[in-house]
Amino acid sequence: GNLKPEDIMGSSSIQAAIVYAIGIFIGNNLDRKKYTIVSNEAGLRLDKENNFSNDLAIFHKNVKLNRHYFNIAPILAIEVDIKADINESPFATNEDYIITKSQKMLDFGTQQVIWILTQSKKIFIVSNDGPWKIVGFDYDISLLENCVLNMKTLLLNEEITI
List pLDDT tens digits, range 34-50. 999 998 877 678 887 77
User: pLDDT-derived band of residue 87, with 50, 70 and 90 as boundaries?
Assistant: low
SS (H, E, C) 77-116: EEEECCCCCHHHCCCCCHHHHHHHHHHHHHHHCCCEEEEE
One-letter amino acid at 6 equals E
Q: pLDDT value at position 49?
A: 77
- For the chain, the C-alpha Rg in angstroms (whole number) is 15
Distance set, CA 16 to CA 10, 39, 83, 118 (Å): 9, 10, 12, 12
In this prediction, residues 109-137 reach a mean pLDDT of: 95
Higher pLDDT residue, 86 or 60?
Answer: 60
CA distance 44 to 27: 21
Degrees, nearest 5: CA angle 9-97-50: 75
CA distance 14 to 91: 25
In this prediction, residues 89-111 reach a mean pLDDT of: 85
- Provide, for the chain, the percentages of residues in helix, strand and coil under a 3-state DSSP scheme, each rounded to the nearest 5: 30, 30, 40
Whether the predicted pLDDT of 146 surpasses 80: yes
Whether the predicted pLDDT of 5 surpasses 50: no
Pairing of strands 76-80, 112-117: parallel
